[in-house]
Amino acid sequence: MAVPILKQSQYLIASIQSALSDEDLVKLRDDLADLVGRQRARGVIIDVTALDVLDSFATRTLRAIVYTTKLRGAETVIVGIQPDVAQSMVQLGLTLEDVPTALDLEEGLAYLNQRLAAARGRRL
């Protein structure tokens, strides 16, 4: 099932609605790499609240999305990892150390606003 991607000001919001197969995740990665350019987005939020499993493939693909969009000029933050999912990831040995995460959509937006404000400050 494809993930709907909405544009809100200079951000893209990918809101996962149901369990995703590996192909769905790879499509999300490719769609976002493309859309960041076409929509001239500066930030991306991936909302994984609806996901009941984040296994090694999903984690690896989320990390790839963060790196890919970064190379395309946008910051990405993952929001909504559920408590049970977080615990299971830690036991499995997955940490997402180098990937920005936030509690929910609101915190994710705050994070991106802050990152963009900091980037603007550096350019002045």
Partner 1 sequence: MQREARVRIQSSADIVTARQQGRSIASEIGFSNSNLTIIATAISEIARNIVEYAKEGEAVISLINDGPRQGIQIILSDEGPGIPDTSTVMRDGFSTGRGLGIGLPGARRLMDEFEIVSEVGRGTTITMKKWIG
Name the residues that contact partner 1, by CB under 8 A.
19-23, 52-57, 59-60, 82-85, 87-89, 91-94
Min dist CB 84 to partner 1, Å, is 4
Min dist CB 87 to partner 1, Å, is 6
Min dist CB 117 to partner 1, Å, is 34
DSSP bridge pairs for 41: none
The smaller minimum CB distance to partner 1, of residues 7 and 60, is found at: 60
List strand residue ranges (DSSP E) for the chain, in order.
5-8, 11-15, 43-47, 75-79, 101-102
Structure tokens at 113: 């606003």
The smaller minimum CB distance to partner 1, of residues 20 and 102, is found at: 20
